[in-house]
Structure 1
Amino acid sequence: MHPSEYKGKWKQLKTANKSIHLEIGTGKGQFIDGMAQQHPDIHFIGIEVAKSIIVSAVEKVKETQRKNITLINEDAQDLSDLFENNEVEKIYLNFSDPWPKNKHAKRRLTYHTFLEQYQRILKPNGELILKTDNKGLFEYSLVSFSQFGGILEDVSLDLHLLDDPFNVMTEYEEKFSAKGQPIYRSRIRFPRE
């Protein structure tokens, strides 16, 4: 079955009544696997466009045998093809490509066209969590969130100073924090009319 055939039916895929959390850019799967372990009552869906990378995530899920993870090899350009309005409770953007050139701004996962999609598929009071080591992307994203009308719930300029016991690190996060680079995190909610 194509993932679009589960639109509006993701809760039925695993166990009914589970909240749905979406990670865009799952990479090798360390974050989604760690979150699924911490929260077995949540259905985690990971989207990764690169076939060569999602293979590692699939192998990790097979190895750990997590029953609350679904992985999708798709581009996140149009999430409304995959999810109904108000279907997702939380979205994670972890170490997304910063697309540093101005001419590539439309590709950034925090560009306003992506924010519009997130607002549609998130439930009222749903949350977007961004983590990155890239200061330029973080600053751009905070401005983008603000211009879009997003409500900043939390902004951290060095996540690891918080010593958050619930933070699950990605492969990139481990790599960059080991080099002493700060990890930036923000939590956003989108207002509904």
Structure 2
Amino acid sequence: MRQRHKPWADDFLRDNQQLVVPNPGQHKSNWQAAFKNDHPVHIEIGTGKGQFITGMAKQKPDINFIGIELAKSIIVSAAQEVKNAGVENVLLLNEDASDLREFFSANEADVIYLNFSDPWPKNRHEKRRLTYHAFLEQYKEILTNAGEIVLKTDNRGLFEYSLVSLSKFGMTLEEVTIDLHDLNDPLNVMTEYEVKFSAKGQPIYRCKARFV
């Protein structure tokens, strides 16, 4: 989806470095210092306009949330969402998440959220899927021993691929849900895409998995 250019984005990012972290690699191994507490760290890859991470931050004030979004025109919307909500346990990275080890050390995160990631449906693009084994290897490195991956998507093909990929990697599937909203989970925080797709009657798939 084409994003509208925001000529003020650079100025906004420069004026809000307390929220959208410049040079995040400098905080590697020490994100608790950036948050000024020792709470667990949860990471969302592809944070979009910030609805999910803001909702989670409200729900879990004792968790530090880090949202990663490459598109500058989108990360500024997420930052505005976080600022308007007044939550203080969120930091955002305007970065490419192709290798999280650039920003996080071993055992530094407790949960990674993969929300409505690009399904890359063509076989030749398999390596770009965020549940491809090369990505799982880096997730395993930065997550704690009890760390968890939570995947939500409307794309059945990506969901089925991910279940196989996670299982082949030796992960334990703790939840496999083929119609999340049928569960009426009171703790589920919806993303922008989730609101859009569920309104059209599309099922939302979710799985939770841990490394053995």
Q: 2:120: which partner in 1?
A: 99
State the 1:92 CA deviation: 0.3
Counterpart Cα distance in 2 of 1:52 and 1:114? 25
Moved over 3 A (4+): none
TM-score (normalizing by structure 2): 0.89
Alignment RMSD (CA, Å): 0.7
* 3-state SS of paired residue (1:127): strand
Match in the other structure for 1:171: 192
- Counterparts of 1:40 and 1:16 in 2: how far apart (Å)? 12
CA–CA distance in structure 2, aligned partners of residues 29 and 159 of structure 1? 20
Q: Do structure 1's residue 3 and structure 2's residue 24 form an aligned pair?
A: yes
Query: Does 10-19 or 182-191 show the bigger shift?
Result: 10-19
Alpha-carbon distance in 2 for matches of 1:27, 1:165: 22
1:14 Cα deviation after fit:
1.1
Say whether residues 1:111 and 2:132 are aligned partners.
Answer: yes
Tell me what 2:164 maps to: 143
> CA–CA distance in 2 between the matches of 1:15 and 1:94?
27
State the 1:114 CA deviation.
0.4
Partner of 2:50: 29
The one-letter code of the counterpart of 2:99 is D
Amino acid at match of 2:163: L
Q: Secondary structure at the match of 2:37?
A: coil
Show the 5 A alignment for 1:129-140: 129-140=150-161
Q: Does 1:155 align with 2:183?
A: no
Take 1:102 and 1:55, find their aligned partners in 2: how far apart are those partners?
33
* Structure 1 residue 85 corresponds to structure 2 residue 130: no
Q: Which moved more, 1:178-187 or 1:61-70?
A: 61-70
Q: Which runs of 5+ in 1 are unaligned?
A: none
- How far residue 181 of structure 1 moved from its aligned partner, in angstroms, is 0.5
Map Cα deviations across residues 63-106 of structure 1 (whole Å, 9 max, x no partner).
11211000001111111110010000000000000011111111
The one-letter code of the counterpart of 1:102 is: N
Which stretches in structure 2 are left out of the alignment for 5+ residues?
Answer: 1-21
Separation in 2 of the partners of 1:66 and 1:13?
15
Give aligned-pair identity as a percent: 64
Q: 2:77 aligns with which of 36, 50, 56?
A: 56
SS of residue matched to 1:76: coil
Cα distance in 2, alignment partners of residues 37 and 183 from structure 1: 23
Superposition TM-score, scaled by structure 1 size: 0.97
Q: d(CA) in 2 for partners of 1:89 and 1:78?
A: 17
Structure number with larger C-alpha Rg: 2
1:3 to partner: Cα distance: 0.2
Aligned residues: 191
